[in-house]
Amino acid sequence: MKKNDWKDRLNIVYSTNPDFAYTTDKKEENETLPKQQQKLRVSIEKNHRGGKTVTVVKNFVGSENDAKELGRLLKTRCGVGGSVKDGEILVQGEFKEKIIELLKKEGYTQTK
């Protein structure tokens, strides 16, 4: 059975082809690896950030929602702000050692 939701076709004007298949550009979400298999790398960056120091967690393999959940956990434990963009978790400030310690306590054993 075809899923034929009208919201997916909002930008399509009209097609006279009876076999035309409406395609969307939805990205498939990656399946999140178990915590023990994640090879997270934590670094500190200042480049292109207006002189502000940011702690970056890279190499997270998984869905965007799981990355946001991990980012929320790290930000609340450090008591600062941040964001999740392009598969990277950004935490405002210089918290490299604290984040590595928090990740290891959460079960991310291959964190450096």
pLDDT tens digit string along 28-48? 667 888 888 889 999 999 988
> What is each CA distance from 99 to 20, 28, 55, 60, 102, in whole angstroms?
50, 29, 9, 14, 5
Decide if pLDDT at 23 tops 80.
no
Decide if pLDDT at 2 tops 80.
no
- Which residue pairs from 75-81 have beta carbons closer than 8 angstroms and sit at least 24 positions apart in sequence? 77/102, 78/102
Answer for the pair 110, 40: CB distance below 8 angstroms, yes or no: yes
Question: How confident is the model at residue 1, as a pLDDT?
Answer: 46
CA 10 to chain centre: 27
Number of domains in the chain: 1
CATH of the domain at 81: 3.30.780.10
Indicate whether 51 belongs to any domain: yes
Indicate whether 98 belongs to any domain: yes
Indicate whether 19 belongs to any domain: no
pLDDT in tens, 74-96: 999 999 999 998 889 999 999 99
DSSP 112: -
Q: Could you tell me the residue range of the domain that residue 41 belongs to?
A: 29-106
Mean per-residue pLDDT of the chain: 84
